[in-house]
A and B are shown apart, each in its own frame.
Chain A
Amino acid sequence: MNKTINQKAWFFVIPVFILVAFNAAIPLMTVVNYSFQETFGNNVFAWEGTRWFKQILLSERFHAALGRQIAFTFIILLIQIPLGIGIALTMPKKGWGVPVCLILMSMPLLIPWNVVGAMWNIFALPDIGFLGHSLNGLGFDYNFTQQPGDAWFTTILMDVWHWTSLVVLLSYAGLNSIQPAYYQAAEIDGASRWATFRYIELPKMKKVLTLAILLRFMDSFMIYTEPFVLTGGGPGNTTAFLSIDLVKMALGQFDLGPAAAMSLIYFFIVLLVCWVFYNLMMKNEAQS
């Protein structure tokens, strides 16, 4: 069925159009401009063609940052998705516990991201931070500012604390939409708790989980603020994920050309994965 078409509706779109143009479209075009040229400041440009792209794609530094990023995102997804589903399964569906749980779960999501980084920075300090001090007290040799392993551990822990709630809330919504008759039928069929989860809950949460994975992938792949405030990319560059490395190049070294090229490559990787996900989601929709 077609909705009636009202051309006057385009007028509503103009303010948004202007906003997006200034905040996204024009800066993006600027970046594209920079990526094909060499600049020495003062608006002096020299055409370089695809030199920066080739340089980035072949550079070891980029490969290393990309590798760290992929590893980070992979670990994050591996931990947060099952953990989120697990917590959602234990949350009550009726009664006073519902609002209490929902509020508790929402709280980490409401904290500004640089505050999260700062909180964990202090929390993990080996001498005065609660986490750092306790771990050292238990016999672990823990120092996230000097040991890469500890830095990774702390960064991942921080992200899990910060973002698992999103997966929890999405999974909870998905679980709540399952009609009781399915659980009743499973009970009558004598299904174990695991079988009920595998054959009823998980399939019915497919849509919601695809969304959760997509959102967590995008956010963790583009992560900047929290690890930057926590570790600054250190020790050395062991926690310099793609965005942190990119900013170092652009603002620290003022290599605008390569940085712009890296920006675009970064953008396209994210776009590619999202496109794959989108097609997967559409295929699922068509099947059901």
Chain B
Amino acid sequence: MSLELKKVEKKIGIDTHIYPTSLKLEKNTINVLLGSTLAGKTTLMQIMAGLDKPTSGEIWFNSENVTGMKVQKRNCSMVYQQFINYPNYTVYENIASPLTITGVNSDEIKQRVGKVAELLKLSAMLNKKPDELSGGQQQRTALARALVKDSDLILLDEPLANLDFKLREELREELPKLFEDRDCIVVYATTEPSDALMIGGNTATLLEGKVIQYGKTLDVYNKPENLISAKVFSDPPMNIAEIKKNGDTCKLAGNDFQWKTSVKIKDGTYKIGIRPHNITTYKEGNNSVEINGKVQISELSGSESLIHFTNGNLNWVSLSNGIQQKNVGDETKLYMNTDEFLYFDQNNRLVNNG
């Protein structure tokens, strides 16, 4: 079972909402679409579901061309950001609705609904109406309705975005387990990189209608093909600077700071990217380099410290474990793990491979 998009493009008037995209999603995978709002995630998902037709390109499902096939004929379910449930139906009736429409007999409905309700911890709420439930429970009902159908394709459009932080964490943990025993393709759209990392599976980074990179989540995270993919997949945002490499020395552009490096790339100008947690107030890794910084903002979040610092024209952020109390204006020593530097050439493509 697989879902393949072949050069799918979506234009509305003169605006291109999705640039020609080719993707192949395999059975039993969770595929995360990661990108900011308006990156095209929802449009792409609607094309996958059949709710929208691409301006050009084809969609193939299991070696069958389903481009233009109406959504009712495709076996898919969708869960939205707003908890969408039938307000007049009880939770039981809501979950059963896709089965009732296709004429499944009531005994089988009862059995299937019961199983899914238990999976989503809704067994005690089956007789309630959606407006009597909390936000988290309403979203679970919507999820249950999507799962009971045993669809081949399940699409989740930022399903956790309207939930409280803690609820989001809990539900996010449960999601991979929900899809473990099913033979389906799951597509999950989100704006949060942490969602992608916690869910695992595969990730496609999107920006302004283009799929920048698609692959195993950790691969896309650790080896971004280009600077754009790296930026999309970073939270807090990645630190970026221009550097010049000469032999075994790297120097920051417009700054005196330099360090020794053994990275195997040609001499020249590059952009480096380093994630905040690779700049810390303590030494980490074998090739750690010291840098002085002037503290601009100091944020403590329980177990971690975020320090915004400057060095000449450099304006970067460091993320350290533990509580590091710093006052604004303090000069402090920070350590950058140069093994984790990502080098990008003038075309923003990754040049070093670890």
Contacts and interface: CB of A to CB of B under 8 A. Distances in A.
Nearest to B72: A4
Interface string A1-23: 11010000000000000000000
Contacts of A4: 70-72
B275 interface: no
B46 interface: yes
Range for the number of chain B residues in contact with chain A = under 10
Contacts of B51: 1-2
B145 to A, nearest CB: 20
B72 A2 contact: no
Contacts of A1: 46, 51-52
B308 to A, nearest CB: 31
B53 interface: yes
Nearest to B70: A4
A283 to B, nearest CB: 18
A4 B70 CA distance: 7
Contacts of A2: 51-53
Interface in B25-81: 46, 51-53, 70-72
B64 to A, nearest CB: 19
Nearest to A6: B70
A197 B26 CA distance: 58
Interface string A258-281: 000000000000000000000000
A2 B52 CA distance: 6
Nearest to A3: B51
A4 B71 CA distance: 9
A2 to B, nearest CB: 6
Interface in A1-52: 1-2, 4
Interface in B177-216: none
A93 B62 CA distance: 58
Contacts of B53: 2
B18 to A, nearest CB: 13
A261 to B, nearest CB: 42
B19 to A, nearest CB: 19
Nearest to A5: B70
Interface in B4-36: none
B43 to A, nearest CB: 9
A1 B50 CA distance: 10
Nearest to B43: A1
A288 B209 CA distance: 24
Nearest to B46: A1
Nearest to A4: B70
A1 B80 CA distance: 15
B184 to A, nearest CB: 23
A258 B313 CA distance: 82
Interface string B62-102: 00000000111000000000000000000000000000000
A35 to B, nearest CB: 41
A219 B43 CA distance: 43
Interface string A53-68: 0000000000000000
Contacts of B70: 4
A4 B49 CA distance: 13
B136 to A, nearest CB: 25
A2 B68 CA distance: 11
A2 B51 CA distance: 7
B81 to A, nearest CB: 15
A210 to B, nearest CB: 26
Contacts of B71: 4
Contacts of B52: 1-2
A162 B51 CA distance: 48
B317 to A, nearest CB: 33
A244 B52 CA distance: 53
A1 B46 CA distance: 8
A4 B52 CA distance: 9
B56 to A, nearest CB: 16
A194 B30 CA distance: 56
Interface in A194-218: none
Contacts of B46: 1
A1 to B, nearest CB: 5
Nearest to B52: A1
Nearest to B53: A2
Interface in A236-251: none
A6 to B, nearest CB: 10
Given A1-B46, A2-B52, 7 more contacts: A1-B51, A1-B52, A2-B51, A2-B53, A4-B70, A4-B71, A4-B72
Interface of B: 46, 51-53, 70-72
9 contacts: A1-B46, A1-B51, A1-B52, A2-B51, A2-B52, A2-B53, A4-B70, A4-B71, A4-B72
Give the 5 A-B CB pairs with smallest separation, nearest first.
A1-B52, A4-B70, A1-B51, A1-B46, A2-B52
